Amino acid sequence: MDMKAAVPFFELDDVSKVFNVKRRVERRWLDRMDAAQVRAVNRVSLRIARGETLAIVGESGSGKSTLANVMSRVTPASEGSMRLDGDELTAAAPALLQAFRRRVQMVFQDPSSSLNPRQTVEDIVGLPLRLGGMRSPKERRARVRELLESVQMPADTLLRTPMSLSGGQKQRINIARALALRPELLILDEPTSALDVSVQARILNLLAALKAQYGLTYVIITHDLGVVRAIADRIAVMYLGQVVETGTADEIMRRPRHPYTRALIGAIPVVHESDRVFIPATEVLDGETPSLLDPPVHCAFYSRCAFREDACRTRPAPELVADAHDHAVRCHRNPSDPANRDLSGEKT
């Protein structure tokens, strides 16, 4: 057996990101700012296979964009470890990190703010080539033309500035820049959220074509379950900094097990009411989201859960437990446990 093939392409083990912040403490006799910590990402473990597309989904504030920044090493993890092809990255030597940044690239959320408005497209896409050691302007221009062609942009875009481009065109330039050093993994933070619906579809088709052409692996951060259905192989659902459910896209979209996942999927808008038969029935989320400054010791979703029981509040926070098919759920009523009933009330 090839041991290298058995090693996950990219993996995270108990990765956390903690930010030091100030919070106001107000008492009848006291009003001051105290130091506090926000655990924006809390002990996340993921395994990503080469060539797959993993979608990380959740509401705003769930920690998914912070996780993307940690995975791309835009910001370092506070705890835990990350490995690429088995090589530890957490305290890696500079040479290994330089190789990592060639192999793993990020496409940021807002295509407008991530492009220098004063530079030409040639300068923007050519920058990583120049930093990567390609000194010849002629070679750089040829490579930039090749990249523009791969993202279906005309050659005359070369000398234009971002201000003259549409939102969809800017995102294509972002993607071209990320592909400049021939990476193996792209981390895309909300790649379609700032685009019109018609443009979103074209960007998703482009991503699918690029994946097939270059053999890419994708991690896509999104709150849009339409994007998930269109492109993802597997899904990781995040809530309050933790992964609460993981599994194949088909399994989670058809049979979500965590109450939060059910609520997200149940909120998908439909054009025809007859389409709702394909969406699991669920309760509308109510209650307040807990504060990351003072997270609960019990289940973090308790205050909003339609299926909560007293035991969910009195027991320690649940662990992420996987079944034989690698469908994992962080819930005391985990249907993979024969002692529990699933959320539809049927025995598993």
Q: Does an H or E element contain 229, and which?
A: helix 225-231
Per-residue pLDDT tens digits for 63-115: 999 999 999 999 999 999 999 999 999 877 888 888 999 999 999 888 888 89
pLDDT at 155 over 90: no
* pLDDT for 29 beyond 80: no
Residue 3 confidence (pLDDT): 42
In the chain, % of residues over pLDDT 90: 58
Query: Can you state the angle between helices 167-179 and 121-131, rounded to 10 degrees?
Result: 20
Share of the chain above pLDDT 70, in %: 86
Does residue 108 sit in the same domain as residue 170?
A: yes
Range of 102's domain? 3-254
Pick from 99, 108, 47, 42: which is nearest to 233 by CA? 47
Residues 34-59 have pLDDT tens digits of 778 889 999 999 999 999 999 999 99
Tell me which residue has tokens 């054009």.
271
CATH number for position 138: 3.40.50.300
The confidence score (pLDDT) of residue 293 equals 83
Together in a domain, 142 and 261: no
Q: What is the pLDDT of residue 328?
A: 95
Per-residue pLDDT at 229: 86
Residue 299 has pLDDT above 60, yes or no: yes
Say whether both 220 and 268 belong to one domain: no
Residues 295 and 331 in one domain: yes
Q: Count up the domains in the chain and report the number.
A: 2
Buried b / exposed e along 282-309 (16+ C-beta atoms within 10 A):
beebeeeebebeebeebbbbbbbbebbe
Instruction: Say yes or no: 274 and 244 in one domain.
Output: no
Judge if 211 and 297 occupy the same domain: no
Average pLDDT, integer, range 234-251? 96
Assess whether 174 and 265 both reside in one domain.
no
Q: Give pLDDT, residue 273.
A: 55
Instruction: Output the pLDDT for position 104.
Output: 96
Burial 62-81 (b: 16+ CB within 10 A, else e): bbbbbbbbbbbbeeebbebe
In tens, the pLDDT along 178-225 reads 999 999 999 999 998 878 888 999 999 999 999 999 999 999 999 888
Is the per-residue pLDDT at 1 higher than 80? Answer: no
Q: Which pLDDT band holds residue 2 (cuts at 50, 70, 90)?
A: very low
Q: How do residues 274-291 score in pLDDT, each as one tens digit?
A: 555 555 555 556 678 888
Of 204, 228, 254, which one is at a domain's C-terminal end?
Answer: 254
The pLDDT value recorded for residue 339 is 40
pLDDT the model gives residue 276? 52
Mean of the per-residue pLDDT values of the chain = 86
- Quick one: average pLDDT of 303-309? 88
Residues 116 and 260 in one domain: no
With bands split at pLDDT 50, 70 and 90, how would you rate the model's confidence at 238?
Answer: very high
The domain boundary residue, chosen from 254, 288, 304: 254
Query: Does residue 34 sit in the same domain as residue 167?
Result: yes
> What value does the mean pLDDT take over residues 21-38?
69
The more confidently predicted of residues 150 and 28 is 150
Q: Give 211-214 contacts, CB < 8 A, sequence gap 24+.
A: 211/53, 213/150, 214/179, 214/182
pLDDT digits (tens, 9 = 90+) for 107-146: 988 888 889 999 999 999 999 999 988 889 999 999 999 9
Q: Which helix (H) or strand (E) holds 239?
A: strand 234-239
Q: For residue 151, give both structure tokens.
A: 């993202």
Pair 42, 143 in one domain = yes
